[in-house]
Structure 1
């Protein structure tokens, strides 16, 4: 048999050759066929998972809409900090609201549309009135808690307390109040190049910087000190007491420039290393005889939070 002329071979040899060629072709094509089959199977499974995820997303959206509708029908009500003032008057206490800090928000509270409002209070009165005032907080002012407390005896009798209270607020109610107070003429005439708008945009950008979570976020979680109510420009280092590791600085709070006759705020406070003062998260790092070293947090033009060192020189206290 001439291999160059297979058509002249006997017929059973030709059949065997055709069968062998077909079998060889199947072997050569089988990897591609198996790969295609596996790819088709993967695509089918991916489509099934996608449909399941879409169905789950749709179900979650429906449940969220139902929860929002239910929450809108029965909105949560929280006590305003003014309720504490009325309650203090009933107990014969003298209460003054010194100031309020920026509302604090967390991921868990934002999901509930709630924010916390820190309020600085100063209370004077009898000890019994003080105890009765605190005892009525759970019923008269639900949700209001004490973040920090400085309690001391009043030379005139009774007690004197400086309190940092935290009152919960509804974000939706606060937003609705702000929107209702806006005038359409005012909003239309807003300057797009306003410096305040630019500073607000920078602040929002800075909250996304990694340095915010590293430096600022821990400061927002700790209790606030009393001297953090005042700007650093109104604080003076006027002396020290103690010695060595027990050395404490005497810091005087100056009255506002608009009211220099206000002697109630011209008080002297004792601070030590680790205490906080000023409105830039200032922390006392060293108490020296000639100066008070404070470490503050500052926002750079690039949106990064950095630490800076500020030195308050010793000044003689006015008589």
Structure 2
């Protein structure tokens, strides 16, 4: 059995004090929102407790799907690297960025320089995204949906090249007989988030999965746990979102948590199960039970298609 943990949206703090010249455009609105209350929604003590519990589970691999930064400040890049180093080595930890990591032009490039070893695939000289990492029976495919956007917009984009290369990679990995796990920040299905927060080319991603398939897709961004189902050529493909790793949240759906997945070979394919480990009333992390990967539920559910039941946390 191969086990891996998925956490997302840690929003690592404290936020470094920005210079006045850095508070232009989108950063100004983000900084005001941070000062007015967003900083209280993300607790570093909660994040530390989550990381402690996660490491005690001794997973074979750890995945972080973005929003490690808050405003994409240069001062956040070193703390992001320290956070990833605290999870494990680059061999045992994979990272893909989120919209807060690409908050303004130039932010993402600076962050990726700092965390470079956590975003490199097996093949030297390849594009950074998409990348592939083979670990045991699992192939992790990393995508970047992180692009700079206007104030009050938190949408993402993959682009034609990334989707085409991901399709070719997923097809090749299927021939290798590996369990394919796609890592992305934004919910990669139509209706996964409101128009100002969605993946703008989610329809192309869905079509690609419909042609080539995957065993699992994991994402963050909405700060709540969710399961959606996409159609693959050989059957349903679960798309699983995790809560924010640092959310202090006063209600259960907005409390910090992470998913622990188990992958086992089963006949000609794989059996994948998931457990949610979440913040309890005493401040410790405990099992919140199994996650049903067979039925879409929560925000952006695709089976059955209906209005979302949970509102995602704001992320200007």
For the aligned pair, the TM-score class normalised by the smaller chain equals under 0.3
Rg larger for: 1
Q: TM-score, normalised by structure 2?
A: 0.24
Q: TM-score, normalised by structure 1?
A: 0.24
